[in-house]
Amino acid sequence: MISNTWREVTLDQDDPREQKRMAVLRTGARLFNEHGFDRTSLDDIASELNVSKRTLYYYVKNKDDILFECSRLALEFMHHTMADSHNNNLPPLERIELIMRSYMDLLSNEFGACLVLSTDRVLSEECRKILRDGRRSLDHTIRDLLQKGIEDGSIAPCEPKLAAAALFGAFNWVPHWRPDRNGETYTKIADDFLKIFLNGLRNDK
């Protein structure tokens, strides 16, 4: 089982400044998700937190920094999940299921939704590269597991790149049509999606 929780990865309970910084990031992510990055200002975030705009600069550099940190933390969570899923005693399909269930859990959080709802085009090339590398690592982990399953006969022959794209394409669309991001609802959607995908991938011959 995946041992890390979202809270364990993103919040240091003993650091008051980090708690306040996380409040800024969470609020920024929520407003980006609700109104769009372009239509959300630092003034909006400060007003939501009932602090001055100047106070925000103690925790973040600017609005772009909020977007980058929200997306980076989301990918960091998945990095921990992928590390915990490297259990060679589990069949590839079970490991894929573990990762995708954690991914859906991430999407029910403000940061995970921000990762797929907001574009990184406004960020610097350096920041975009960091996020691209994080996404690529996640995608390649799923592709590699698909290839392992094909090789051991547990997964039906398919193109891993296309199968991974189908998985992430379906999951990434959920925050667009379920903006309430209720955890139980997202878990049920993950159950239904995985039933469809895993049955389709499983080699029953």
Q: Taking residues 102-126, what's their average pLDDT?
A: 94
Q: What is the pLDDT of residue 62?
A: 96
Whether 72 is in a domain gets the answer: yes
As for how many domains the chain has, the answer is: 1
Residue 98 lies in a domain: yes
Distance CA 117, CA 195 (A): 25
The pLDDT score that the predictor gives to residue 99 is 93
CATH number, position 81 = 1.10.357.10
Residue 49 CA to residue 198 CA, distance in Å, equals 43
- Give the number of other Cβ atoms within 10 Å of residue 201's Cβ: 21
For residue 96, pLDDT beyond 70: yes
Give domain status of residue 52, yes or no.
Answer: no
pLDDT value of residue 82: 79
Whether 19 is in a domain gets the answer no
Per-residue model confidence (pLDDT) at position 79: 84
pTM listed for this prediction? 0.88
Domain of residue 194 covers 68-201
Q: What is the pLDDT of residue 9?
A: 46
Going from the C-alpha of 202 to that of each of 144, 199, 205, the distances in angstroms are 16, 5, 9
How many CB atoms lie under 10 A from the CB of residue 188?
12
